[in-house]
Amino acid sequence: MKSGGVEAVTAAVLAGGRAQRLGGIDKGLALWRGRPLIAHVVAALADQVDDILILANRNGDEYRHYGHVCADDNAGYRGPLEGIATALRRAPGAWLLTVPVDSPEPGADLLERLWRGRDGVDVVVAHDGRRRQPLFALYRRAALAIPDSDPDMPVWAWQDRQAVREVDFSDSPARFANLNTAEDFHERSDGDDAART
């Protein structure tokens, strides 16, 4: 679904981390099933949103093949909340959908399902049946104060300070599986391209 107009949705792909458990290589550019992770995520989101913003703190030229790129406003790998804050400032759409770059199969209905839960709240976030998935969320940009640049604050804790609603995704929790280590890439890969750039 593409909303357009006053309901336009920008997707922000959070790709700004250090990927320490992956030996420090840029996780979003690591190959999985023959393509970089960022390619999988962008392909899954392209038909759902009006535009895509990639939050990347390095390798910006490579990420530009997949969408508009910006680095976190406050440098220093301050965590996903900093990426969300930057996206809330920079996104052109009235709504912001966030997804992490290391979950390559977010599903073609992610936005549609979150969108149905937006009435009366400013943050709509996925719940996999066991716990909240705070990086898979939809934000009403105009209603939110930009979070402070606090690297110690978890995303869920900031979300809880807003008018927030959880949406049940217990029928498809696998979409939230992320690839953090070379073993993760290998276990979910069809070949031996795991964790290479």
pLDDT per residue over 127-175, tens digit each? 999 999 999 999 999 888 877 767 678 999 999 999 999 999 999 999 9
Average pLDDT over residues 167-184: 88
pLDDT at 82: 87
Instruction: Answer whether 28's CB lies under 8 Å from 15's CB.
Output: yes
Instruction: Answer whether 115's CB lies under 8 Å from 29's CB.
Output: no
Q: Please report whether residue 101 resides in a domain.
A: yes
Q: Please report whether residue 116 resides in a domain.
A: yes
Residue 7: is its pLDDT beyond 70? yes
Domain that includes residue 124, residue range: 5-187
Average pLDDT over residues 25-30: 86
Q: Please report whether residue 88 resides in a domain.
A: yes
Long-range CB contacts for residues 23-28, cutoff 8 Å, separation at least 24: 23/182, 23/195, 25/195, 25/197, 26/56, 26/58, 26/59, 26/197, 27/101, 27/102, 27/179, 27/180, 28/54, 28/56, 28/63, 28/101, 28/102
Question: How many domains are there within the chain?
Answer: 1
DSSP 8-state symbol, 96:
E
Average pLDDT over residues 23-37: 85
The percent of residues above 90 in pLDDT, for the chain, comes to 56
Q: Please report whether residue 193 resides in a domain.
A: no
| pLDDT band, residue 108 (cuts 50/70/90) | very high
Residue 33: is its pLDDT beyond 90? no
Instruction: Answer whether 82's CB lies under 8 Å from 74's CB.
Output: yes
- Tokens linked to 108: 């073609």
Give the residue, 18 or 70, on which the prediction is more confident.
70
Backbone φ and ψ for 118, nearest 5 degrees, come out as -80, -20
Say if residue 33 is exposed, middle or buried (CB neighbours under 10 Å; 0-12, 13-18, 19+). middle
Q: Please report whether residue 60 resides in a domain.
A: yes
Q: Please report whether residue 197 resides in a domain.
A: no
pLDDT at 5: 60
Q: Please report whether residue 126 resides in a domain.
A: yes
Residue 192: is its pLDDT beyond 50? no
pTM equals 0.89
- Tokens linked to 126: 């996925």
Q: Please report whether residue 23 resides in a domain.
A: yes
Residue 117 sits in a domain of what CATH number? Answer: 3.90.550.10
